[in-house]
Structure 1
Amino acid sequence: MLVKKNLAYQLIRILFLFSIVFPFLVLILLSFSERYTWPGILPGNYSLRAIRSILFQRKALFLNCLFSIFFSVMVSLCTIMAAYCTAKWQSEHKESSLLSFCIFLPFMIPSSVFAMGAQILFLRLPFKNAYLSVFLSHVLYSLPYATSYLTEGMRNNIKRLEEQGRVFGASGFYLLFKVTIPLLFPYLIPAFMMSFILSMSQYILTVLLGGGKLKTLSLIMVPFIQSGERNLASVYGLLFLLSSFLLFLLMEMLIRGLKRREKVC
Structure 2
Amino acid sequence: MLYLLLLGPVVGLVLYAGSTRWFFPDLLPVTWTFETFWRQLSNARTQQAIGTSLLLGGVVTLLALVIALPAARTLGLERFPGRSLVLLLLFLPTIVPPLATGMGLNIIFLRLGLAGSLAGVVLVHLIPVLPYTIFALIGVFVRYDEGYEQQARTLGAGPWRILWQVTLPLAGPGMAVAALFAFLVSWSQYVLTLLIGGGRVITLPMLLFAAVAGGNPATIAALALIFAGPPLLAIALAARALTERTTTVGQQY
**1:146 aligned to 2:133?**
yes
**Matched ranges for 1:43-58 at <5 A:** 43-56=29-42, 58=43
CA distance in 1 between partners of 2:88 and 2:111 (Å): 24
Q: Which residue of 203, 211, 232 corresponds with 1:245?
A: 232
**Partner-residue secondary structure (3-state), 2:171:** helix
**1:156 aligned to 2:120?**
no
TM-score of the superposed pair, with normalisation by structure 2:
0.86
Higher relative contact order (CA 8 A, sep 6+): 2
Equivalenced residues, count: 249
TM-score of the superposed pair, with normalisation by structure 1:
0.83
Deviation, 1:212, is 0.8
CA distance in 2 between partners of 1:126 and 1:215 (Å): 18
Q: Which residue of 52, 63, 78 corresponds with 1:92?
A: 78
Conserved? CA contact 1:75–1:138, under 8 Å: yes
**1:73 aligned to 2:61?**
no
**Aligned residue type for 1:20:** L
Mean CA deviation greater in 92-101 or 227-236: 92-101
CA distance in 2 between partners of 1:32 and 1:120 (Å): 44
Residue matched to 1:117: 104
Q: Which residue of 112, 130, 135 corresponds with 2:117?
A: 130
Residue matched to 2:178: 191
Q: Which residue of 99, 102, 119 corresponds with 2:89?
A: 102
Gaps of 5+ in 2: none
CA distance in 1 between partners of 2:107 and 2:86 (Å): 22
CA distance in 2 between partners of 1:247 and 1:37 (Å): 35
**Aligned residue type for 1:84:** L
CA distance in 2 between partners of 1:194 and 1:87 (Å): 15
CA distance in 2 between partners of 1:135 and 1:89 (Å): 25
Conserved? CA contact 2:177–2:238, under 8 Å: no
Query: How high is the sequence identity, in percent, across the aligned residues?
Result: 26
Residue matched to 1:59: 44
**1:215 aligned to 2:202?**
yes
Deviation, 1:145, is 0.5
Over the residues paired in the alignment, what is the CA RMSD in angstroms?
2.6
Gaps of 5+ in 1: 1-14
